[in-house]
Amino acid sequence: MVEYITQTLDAVFHALSDPTRRAMLHRLSTSERTVSELATPFNMSLAGASKHIKVLEAAGLVRRHVQGRTHICALQAARLAEAQEWLRYYEQFWEERLDDLENILRAEDRALAEKARHGDRKDPKTKMDSKE
């Protein structure tokens, strides 16, 4: 089971690693599109677009069906949810680290403010006359 999950995530992240494929997924998030519609914004051939779509299909992110001679693609978001779940662990990791950093910075700000407040009050024994 773990190996299957690893292979699935590897395929999803590989598919998402390319900006063209990410843009195709974004376009599919609003509605189904033909291969031609997906290729048009990139000024690429249908064969080039089809190669990208095959990677998305292999990752389980896109489903393609044929109507006559037209290939229609649809987003399959379940694999994105699986990837999001995997990323959520690291989101918690970074949130904890950022919270720690925020606490450190706030403590430094308080210490500087306290130092500035006490720095204005000079001890009469150490106060020197500027004419001396």
The Cα 7–Cα 12 span in angstroms is 9
Token duo for residue 29: 């998030």
The architecture that CATH gives domain 2-77 is Orthogonal Bundle (1.10)
Determine contact, residues 78/71, Cβ cutoff 8 Å.
no
The pLDDT, as a whole number, for residue 34 is 96
What pTM does this model have?
A: 0.67
Strand spans (E) along 1-122: 33-34, 62-67, 70-75
Residue whose entry in the numeric block shows the structure tokens 């290939």: 71
pLDDT for the residue numbered 94:
85
What is the reported pLDDT for 99?
85
90 φψ region: left (φ > 0), alpha (ψ -120 to 50), beta (else): alpha
pLDDT in tens, the chain (132 residues): 445 468 889 999 999 999 999 999 999 999 999 999 999 999 899 999 999 999 999 999 999 999 999 999 999 999 998 888 888 888 888 888 898 899 899 999 999 998 888 875 555 555 554 454
Burial of 9 (0-12, 13-18, 19+ CB in 10 A): middle
- Amino acid identity of residue 101, one-letter, is L
